[in-house]
Chains A and B, each alone.
Chain A
Amino acid sequence: MTPTTSQLLETVTTRGNPQIDPSLHVWGWQIVLYLFLGGLVAGIFILTAALELSSGERARTRALGAMPFVALLLLSFGMSFLWLDLAHRFWAWRFYATFRPTSPMSWGAWILVLVYPAGLLLGLGSLDEAQRAWLRARTPGFLRGLLARLTDASDAHRRAVLLTSVLMGVGLGLYTGLLLGTMPARLAWNSAVLGPLFLASGISTGAATLLLLKLDENERRALVRWDLVAIGVELVLLTLLLVGFGTSGEAGRYAAHGFLGGPYTAVFWSLVVIMGLLVPLAMEAIEARRHLPSVALVPVLILAGGLALRWIVLAAGQASAFRLLP
């Protein structure tokens, strides 16, 4: 409904105005999807590199070897949402005309740039001979020399490439949470726990994505084991998040109320805690102990839970402001 002139005058001279009130809107679904995909990609990098580091050999499954490239595509997809969210889209290059050490978003912008070459090197070295031949055949002539050199470099310095990939993944996963956690004005984001929480959730959703692939039994077992740890860590961090809010005065109480009795209670406990963490945790643990065949439901629940976590945290933060405190 278009407001009448008198209504317009009222909203621009007082508040409750959706055009200027961040508690009514700052970031929407674009940022939710970006944070989700960013975390998931971070998880894929960490896990594929960690699998190779721990086993000492290249991926046994072809699909797993190609995952770093898939991750880069997913990241590009996520970044396109980030770009869509910008209000001044053609000034996006300004992110790269400077580096602001106090701004997590600036760190993120530069981490994203560094993730691409790291992911490319990780991916080139993960391919088996047949995949390498396939890639070589489809690379234009003038790029073949570069491709060969990069692949050789990735093989020769494999350990350094793998460790860099883990580091980049950790940076990417942490920053998606710290981006929100360092906004003191949004009470329900105001916790440094969000950084490790989003990283743990990213590792778990990354594992879930890999578990959807047809994997070698050893790879599957390792991923399920790490996923169990990631989910456990997530549960601990979520508890710490709420404990932290509950013990930090009026602003923290307002933030905690959103999840404990307030408007986000039902979705948070049902979609994130129960369906996204506890049920997959139990199912994975039972599968692992009884050596049951795995079902695709577990990764799907984890992915849905990870998406819900970001959606709810993003919304809860924006609905909280100092202005709303008594």
Chain B
Amino acid sequence: MSGLRKRYAMTVDTRLCVGCKACVLACKAENDVPDGFCRDWVVEDVRGEFPQLSAEIRSERCNHCTDAPCVKSCPTGASHVNEGGVVLVTHGKCSGCKACIAACPYDARFVHPKGYVDKCTFCLHRVKNGLAPACVDVCPTGTLVFGDRNDLESDVSKNLRTRRWKVNHLESGAGPNVFFLT
């Protein structure tokens, strides 16, 4: 899996998600995300032709990839791997060159109006204090589950063992850590 002691990950149950977008708004409130920007978003993936339709709703965000292309492409070391494999941006090191934005297969990054590049942090400031990320805490259907993949007793590990899952664009080769339960 990885050499890290902890490997934070998230499972998103596409059978429970109703697309209420509370996760997006909770994130915006918790992380003071400026107007017009978001660190997570909801995709309503509708396939087929009316009336034969199928829909999958996914709450998406940075995948905190195991082999993160954003970290590899960063010329200043601002993008880095932090505790539990969480990928963070050090604002004071970021020159706003946007190499990481171009490198991210999940288009999870954006330029904050203050100039640095911003993205989901898995709410590491909350996790360090024993809380769940804001999106997970607010989710009314229990769709989002956060935890340590290296801890076999965590809910995330149990979900990954007992449920069928997929990741977005496995072919990116980045090793994403957000898993969609199907």
Contact = CB atoms under 8 A, between A and B. Distances in A.
A and B interact physically? yes
Contact of B72 (A11, A103, A108): A103
A325 B94 CA distance: 30
Contacts of B101: 22, 26
Contacts of A310: none
Contact of A87 (B43, B69, B111): B111
A323 B36 contact: no
Interface string A96-139: 01101011111011000000000000000000000000000000
B95 A103 contact: no
A203 interface: no
Interface of B: 21, 24-25, 28, 35-38, 41-44, 69, 72-78, 92-99, 101-107, 109-111, 114-117, 168-169, 171-174
Given A14-B41, A91-B92, A185-B106, 19 more contacts: A8-B35, A19-B36, A20-B110, A27-B98, A87-B115, A88-B114, A91-B116, A94-B76, A97-B93, A98-B76, A100-B74, A102-B72, A103-B73, A103-B75, A105-B99, A184-B69, A186-B102, A251-B171, A322-B105
A interface residue count range (under 10 / 10 to 19 / 20 to 34 / 35 or more): 35 or more
11 contacts: A17-B37, A27-B102, A85-B97, A87-B115, A89-B95, A89-B96, A91-B95, A91-B116, A95-B75, A184-B69, A185-B103
Contact of A184 (B36, B43, B103): B103
- Please report whether the interface of chain B is mostly helix, strand, loop or mixed according to DSSP: loop
B38 A13 contact: yes
B102 A318 contact: yes
B36 A8 contact: yes
Contacts of B92: 91
A108 B93 CA distance: 18
Residue from A22, A23, A98, A180 with most neighbouring chain B CB atoms (10 Å): A22
A106 B75 contact: yes
A236 interface: no
B172 A185 contact: yes
B153 to A, nearest CB: 33
B102 A22 contact: yes
A53 interface: no
A140 to B, nearest CB: 34
Contacts of A279: none
A203 B99 CA distance: 25
Contacts of A322: 105-106, 168-169, 171-172
A4 B16 CA distance: 31
B41 A87 contact: no
A216 interface: no
A87 B106 contact: no
Nearest to A98: B77
B102 A87 contact: no
A185 B98 contact: no
A91 B116 CA distance: 9
Contact of B103 (A8, A17, A91, A183): A183
Contacts of A12: 24, 28, 35-38, 41
Contacts of B102: 22, 26-27, 180, 183, 185-186, 189, 317-318
Interface in A1-57: 3, 8, 11-15, 17, 19-23, 26-27
A22 B115 contact: no
B94 A14 contact: no
A17 to B, nearest CB: 7
A186 B70 CA distance: 12
B182 to A, nearest CB: 17
Given A88-B116, A105-B75, A184-B172, A13 B25 contact: yes
A76 interface: no
A14 B97 contact: no
A82 to B, nearest CB: 8
A23 B73 contact: no
Contacts of A19: 36-37, 110
A212 to B, nearest CB: 32
Contacts of B105: 184-185, 321-322
B42 A13 contact: yes
A240 interface: no
Interface in A302-324: 317-318, 321-323
The 8 closest A-B pairs by CB, nearest first: A87-B96, A88-B96, A88-B115, A106-B75, A20-B110, A105-B75, A185-B105, A94-B76
